[in-house]
């Protein structure tokens, strides 16, 4: 099972992607990375790594794994958590990076619970909505979840590991079936982490 990492940051990843992406596309990513780094600040992931590593992993999955080269999709990969996890708004994303990027970010942003909803209900509604996502938004979500689960055994909470495995198998794996590269990756991932499903049963 292939894993994706970006511990050396954007300059190193940018250099590595230079053989896959034209310079104008890389140049379009520079301000998106700068903006995301500023928005996310000192946020970290559950295992303690800087949050920006997750954003760069998602970008790397799309380019190196899937072969995506659309600048809007790639900028959305970098910016996909800014609205959900920082004070940034969709209007600001649209103004800075265009409505196409903002639409993709909107698709992968979990909304706050609506009237009469708790957080679990809102999360399930968000996951169910992804079944109707356009192709670019779906690929973005599959790459996002790949980064989140590729090293699931390193998550500090055993209960969260089990819940996240179950949720991924229930909602995300079916979305990958129409995407050959993702389908193969998630099949390998599910076999590798099957013990989490057995622990939860």
- List the chain domain ranges: 10-155
Q: Which residues are catalytic?
A: 84-85
Quick one: what percent of the chain has pLDDT higher than 90? Answer: 84
pLDDT for 5 equals 94
Domain 10-155 CATH superfamily: Hypothetical protein af1432 (1.10.3210.10)
Does the pLDDT at position 145 exceed 60? Answer: yes
Beta bridge mates, 46: none
pLDDT for 47 equals 82
pTM of the model: 0.95
Does the pLDDT at position 176 exceed 60? Answer: yes
pLDDT for 200 equals 59
């Amino acid at each position: 099972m292939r894993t994706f990492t970006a511990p050396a940051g954007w300059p190193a990843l940018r250099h590595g992607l230079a053989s896959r992406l034209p310079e104008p596309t890389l140049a379009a990513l520079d301000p998106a990375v700068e903006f995301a780094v500023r928005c996310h600040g000192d946020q970290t992931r559950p295992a303690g790594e800087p949050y920006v590593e997750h954003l760069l992993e998602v970008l790397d999955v799309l380019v190196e794994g899937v072969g995506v080269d659309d600048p809007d999709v790639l900028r959305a990969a970098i910016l996909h958590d800014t609205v959900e996890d920082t004070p940034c708004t969709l209007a600001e994303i649209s103004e800075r990076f265009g409505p196409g990027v903002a639409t993709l970010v909107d698709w992968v942003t979990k909304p706050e619970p609506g009237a009469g909803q708790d957080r679990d209900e809102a999360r399930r509604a968000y996951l169910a909505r992804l079944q109707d996502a356009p192709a670019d938004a779906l690929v973005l979500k599959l790459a996002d979840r790949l980064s989140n689960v590729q090293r699931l055994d390193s998550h500090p909470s055993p209960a969260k590991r089990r819940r996240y495995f179950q949720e991924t198998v229930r909602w995300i794996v079916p979305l990958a079936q129409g995407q050959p590269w993702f389908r193969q990756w998630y099949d390998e991932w599910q076999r590798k982490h099957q013990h989490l499903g057995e622990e939860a049963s």
